[in-house]
């Protein structure tokens, strides 16, 4: 797959289906790719909704359960997929990102022994993953999430690859990354870290180094409910090596001796960390 005149085409030149959404803004120079789920009824109903002026919502691309791809907005034009959002000190991600919607029922509640979507659709058990969202604390019971199909993931990877190659995008992120607390999509079943690793070739053997830009509290777990560790807080300017990410929290290894403590390993909030260099 590739991009030609800001539209997706197959490698043999066949155009990917395009239907123009009414819901667009101005010119777009995208830096990021944002993944969503539709939490809808079907691919057709979600596409119809994103085309309609009534919804005041859109996305550049919708990917169906069977891997079918439809484009609704050219990639040089703002689509309305992100809403109130921020990433790396940039607000309003519609102005800075391409949005992909995956047809998926989203978060499911268990009602009378069945998994039920927000639109009250019953999802068969063999399409349900029971898991906690990365932003939920471990004290909460896990929910159900409709699983993505292999064909859908394959299409998502192919579209992402084409967009990253063509536009030099910096990263692929979830709606839940840029609108935490408000959005849960694409949820625990979407293999975001695998996608990132595959498309950006992240080196597993050289985890990123961050610098604390303020006094940094290091906790025993990913959340303010976990107590600060002995030796915390560490001074601004201290370097830490990222070991693991859970939502907005990072497990880090404190590299520089500070406050008399060496070899402190714990969790801190990402807002206080900036990449070294």
Using CB under 5 A, list all residues that contact Zn ion: 36, 175, 185
Q: Least distance (Å) from Zn ion to the CB of residue 211?
A: 31
C-alpha 62/C-alpha 65 separation (Å) is: 10
- Sheet-wide strand order for 61-63: 69-71, 61-63, 97-102, 32-37, 171-174
Instruction: Indicate the residue among 81 and 251 with the shorter CB distance to Zn ion.
Output: 81
Q: Which of residues 36 and 219 has its CB atom nearest to Zn ion in the complex?
A: 36
Residue 184 or 273: the one with the smaller Cβ distance to Zn ion is 184
Q: How far is the CB of 238 from Zn ion (least distance, A)?
A: 35
For Zn ion, give the closer residue by CB, 63 or 211: 63
Q: Which of 46/155 has CB closer to Zn ion?
A: 46
What HEC string does the chain produce? Answer: CEEECCEEECCCCCECCECCCCCEEEECCCCEEEEEECCCCCHHHHHHHHHCCCCCCCCCEEECCCCCEEECCCCCEEECCCCCCEECCEECHHHCEEEEEECCCCEEEEECCEEECCCCCEECHHHEEEECCCCCCCCCCCEEEECCCHHHHHHHHHHHHHHHHHHCCCEEEEHHHHCCCCCCCCCCCCCHHHHHHHHHCCCCCCCCEEEECCCECCECCCCCCCCECCCCCECCCCEEEEEEEECCEEEEEECCCECCECCCEEEEEHHHEEECC
Nearer to Zn ion, 103 or 185 (CB): 185
d(CA 13, CA 123): 37
Residue (of 267, 253, 187) closest to 225 by Cα position: 267
Closer of 175 and 219 to Zn ion (Cβ): 175
CB of 183 to Zn ion, least distance (A): 5
Q: In the numeric block, which tokens belong to residue 124?
A: 């068969």
Question: How near is the Cβ of 47 to Zn ion at its closest, in Å?
Answer: 15
Q: How far is the CB of 213 from Zn ion (least distance, A)?
A: 29
CB of 178 to Zn ion, least distance (A): 9
Shorter beta-carbon distance to Zn ion: residue 97 or 217: 97
Least gap, CB of 185 to Zn ion (angstroms) = 4
Q: How far is the CB of 82 from Zn ion (least distance, A)?
A: 7
């Amino acid at each position: 797959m590739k991009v030609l005149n800001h539209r997706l085409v197959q490698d043999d030149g066949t155009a990917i289906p395009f239907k123009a959404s009414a819901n667009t803004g101005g010119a777009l120079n995208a830096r990021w790719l944002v993944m969503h789920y539709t939490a809808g009824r079907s691919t057709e109903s979600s596409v119809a909704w994103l085309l309609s002026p009534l919804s005041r919502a859109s996305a550049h691309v919708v990917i169906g359960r069977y891997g079918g791809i439809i484009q609704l907005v050219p990639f040089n034009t703002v689509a309305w997929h992100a809403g109130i959002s921020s990433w790396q000190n940039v607000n309003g991600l519609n102005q800075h990102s391409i949005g992909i919607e995956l047809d998926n029922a989203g978060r499911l509640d268990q009602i009378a022994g069945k998994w039920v979507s927000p639109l009250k659709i019953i999802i068969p058990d063999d399409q349900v993953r029971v898991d906690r969202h990365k932003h939920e604390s471990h004290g909460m019971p896990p929910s159900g999430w409709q699983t993505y199909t292999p064909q859908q993931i394959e299409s998502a990877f192919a579209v992402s690859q084409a967009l990253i190659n063509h536009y030099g995008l910096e990263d692929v992120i979830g709606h839940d990354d840029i609108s935490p607390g408000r959005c849960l999509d694409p949820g625990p079943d979407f293999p975001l870290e695998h996608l990132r690793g595959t498309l950006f070739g992240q080196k597993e053997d050289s985890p990123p180094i961050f610098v604390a830009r303020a006094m940094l509290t290091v906790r025993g777990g990913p959340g303010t409910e976990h107590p600060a560790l002995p030796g915390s807080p560490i001074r601004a300017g201290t370097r830490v090596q990222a070991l693991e990410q859970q939502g907005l929290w990072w497990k880090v290894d404190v590299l520089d001796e500070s406050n008399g403590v060496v070899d402190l390993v714990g969790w801190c909030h990402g807002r206080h960390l900036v990449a070294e260099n």
